[in-house]
Amino acid sequence: MTVSDVPSAVESLLECESERRSRGRITEEWSGLDLPTAYTVQSELVGAKVLRQGDSVIGTKLGLTSEAKQRRMGISSPLTAVLLKSYVLEPGALLPLDRLIQPRVEPELVFVMRKKLQGPDVTAAEVLDAIGSVHAGFEVIDSRYHDYSFALPDVVADNASSALFVVGELGVPAANIDLVAEHVTISKNGEFVYEATGAAVQGNPAHALALAVNELAQRGQYINAGELVLTGGMTDAVPIGPGDTISAVFSSLGSLSLTATT
Ligand code: 0L1
Ligand code: MG
């Protein structure tokens, strides 16, 4: 299928996901895919999942908020995407590789919101006040593009490589945690891979969310009370294959461990 408009982009990305195959960049076929149009593709793709598969929207994800992720992907602008109920993986569950193309795992700071946040002009202090609890998280990303090779409009259209995520059971009030200093160590099959602190997320994850909420306002969107927010990979993502275990130890949010099926 040659992709040249919003409906064909949506169908192509949905087909890749359901058939577990990747494709080339959409921007190579459709040079007119600019950022606003890419967000339209993202929203139509999410709408199709809700309508056809009975899925529901449960939150917002920030992407490319850390320098480690931006460097790896060669893109310096953060983005937003939509979290769906079908992406939830319960803590302790095996990662179902038979549903995925090329999964990678990244540690994240996750917020459960207790107040609505609507831009413009939202500040980091307002974000902190709106957070109900902070949790450790793993996002499992799975690009529908060959080898995660994409330009910003491609990855925005693909709902920012969303696939699955795990939220740790321990929830800490925002007032009881130093988000900037929160430290994580990631290991794969017992070997150290990466470490970072919350400062990796645009200097402060609350600031990252304030910027995202103000950008969402330009598209008429906001974050509702009760929604989840993934604030973006703190480190580069780690590929996960059959039988691999990825573990994260956070300084005050506890530990997470994710093992893939064989
Ligand atoms: O948390 C993130 O930075 C996710 C970015 C999604 C794009 C990708 O890395 O494939
Ligand atoms: Mg992420």
Cα of 62 to ligand 2 centre, how many Å? 7
Average pLDDT over residues 187-198: 98
Average pLDDT over residues 123-149: 98
Structure tokens at 203: 């200097």
Q: Is 45 among the domain residues? A: no
Q: Is 126 among the domain residues? A: yes
Q: What is the pLDDT of residue 176?
A: 98
Please give the single-letter amino acid code of residue 252: S
What long-range pairs does 74-81 form, CB within 8 A, spacing at least 24?
75/151, 75/152, 75/155, 77/152, 78/202, 78/208, 78/211, 78/212, 78/232, 79/152, 79/155, 79/156, 79/160, 80/160, 80/212, 80/215, 80/216, 81/42, 81/156, 81/159, 81/160, 81/162
How many percent of the chain have pLDDT more than 70? 100
Is the pLDDT at 156 greater than 80? The verdict is yes
Provide the domain count of the chain: 1
Residue 110 sits in a domain whose CATH number is 3.90.850.10
Q: C-alpha dihedral over 90, 83, 179, 94, to 10 degrees?
A: 20
Closest ligand 1 atom number to CA of residue 148: 10
Q: Measure the CA–CA gap between 246 and 235, rounded to whole angstroms.
A: 13
Q: What is the pLDDT of residue 193?
A: 98
Write out pLDDT tens, residues 46-103: 999 999 999 999 999 999 999 999 999 999 999 999 999 999 999 999 999 999 999 9
The structure's pTM equals 0.97
Q: Is the CB of 113 under 6 A from ligand 1?
A: no
Q: Is 28 among the domain residues? A: no
Closest ligand 1 atom number to CA of residue 66: 3
* Cα radius of gyration rounded to whole Å, the chain: 17
Cα of 52 to ligand 2 centre, how many Å? 25
Q: What is the pLDDT of residue 162?
A: 98
Q: Is 30 among the domain residues? A: no
Band of the pLDDT at 2, cuts 50, 70, 90? confident
In terms of residue numbers, what domain contains 124?
A: 56-259
Closest ligand 1 atom number to CA of residue 139: 1
* CB of 245 closer than 8 Å to CB of 189: yes
Q: Is 26 among the domain residues? A: no
Cα of 64 to ligand 2 centre, how many Å? 7
Q: Is the CB of 102 under 6 A from ligand 1?
A: no
Cα of 142 to ligand 1 centre, how many Å? 9
Q: Is 131 among the domain residues? A: yes
Residue nearest to atom 10 of ligand 1 (CA): 161
Q: Is 12 among the domain residues? A: no
Residue nearest to atom 6 of ligand 1 (CA): 160
Q: Is 203 among the domain residues? A: yes
CB crowding 24-52: b at 16 or more within 10 Å, else e: ebbbebbeebeeebbbbbbbbbbebbbee
pLDDT, the chain, mean: 97
Write out pLDDT tens, residues 98-120: 999 999 999 999 999 999 999 99
- Write the secondary structure of 24-43 as one string of H (helix), E (strand) and C (coil): CCHHHHCCCCCHHHHHHHHH
